[in-house]
Amino acid sequence: MKLAAAAVLIRQRVPPLPTTPQSRSRNEQTVLMDTTAQRIRDSVAFIERSSPLRPKIALVLGSGLGDFADTLTGGFSLRNADIPHYPVPSVQGHKGRIVLAEVEQIPTVVFQGRVHFYECRSVDSVLYPIRIAYALGARILIITNAAGGVNRNMNPGDLMAITDQVNMMTEKVPEISFEVKSQFPIYDKTLLTVAQTVSLGLHIQLHKGIYVGVQGPSYETAAEVEMVSRIGGDAVGMSTVLETTLANVLGMKVLGISCITNKATGIGSTKLDHQEVTEAANKVNQEFVRLLRGVIVVLGRG
Choose the catalytic residue: 48, 50, 274, 285: 274
**Number of Cβ atoms within 10 Å of the Cβ of 107:** 20
Choose the catalytic residue: 43, 51, 63, 229: 63
CA-to-CA distance for 4 and 19, rounded, in angstroms?
28
- Identify whether the C-beta of residue 282 lies closer than 8 Å to the C-beta of residue 156: no
CA distances from 293 to 85, 97, 231, 289 (A): 30, 19, 33, 6
Residue among 80, 48, 44, 47 nearest 61 (CA)? 80
Active-site annotation holds for 203: no
CA dihedral 168, 217, 282, 294 (to 10 degrees): 30
Active-site annotation holds for 239: yes
Identify any residues that bridge with 289 across adjacent strands, giving them in sequence order. none
Choose the catalytic residue: 50, 85, 118, 276: 118
Active-site annotation holds for 145: no
- Identify whether the C-beta of residue 240 lies closer than 8 Å to the C-beta of residue 126: no
Active-site annotation holds for 274: yes
Choose the catalytic residue: 51, 69, 119, 235: 119
Choose the catalytic residue: 58, 69, 86, 94: 94
Identify any residues that bridge with 97 across adjacent strands, giving them in sequence order. 79, 112
Choose the catalytic residue: 80, 116, 220, 243: 116
CA-to-CA distance for 230 and 210, rounded, in angstroms?
12
User: Which 8-state DSSP code applies to residue 224?
Assistant: H
CA-to-CA distance for 282 and 96, rounded, in angstroms?
17
Choose the catalytic residue: 262, 264, 281, 287: 262
**Number of Cβ atoms within 10 Å of the Cβ of 248:** 22
Choose the catalytic residue: 43, 51, 239, 258: 239
**Number of Cβ atoms within 10 Å of the Cβ of 26:** 13
Choose the catalytic residue: 58, 101, 146, 252: 146
Which sequence positions are flagged as catalytic?
63, 94, 116, 118-119, 146, 238-239, 262, 274
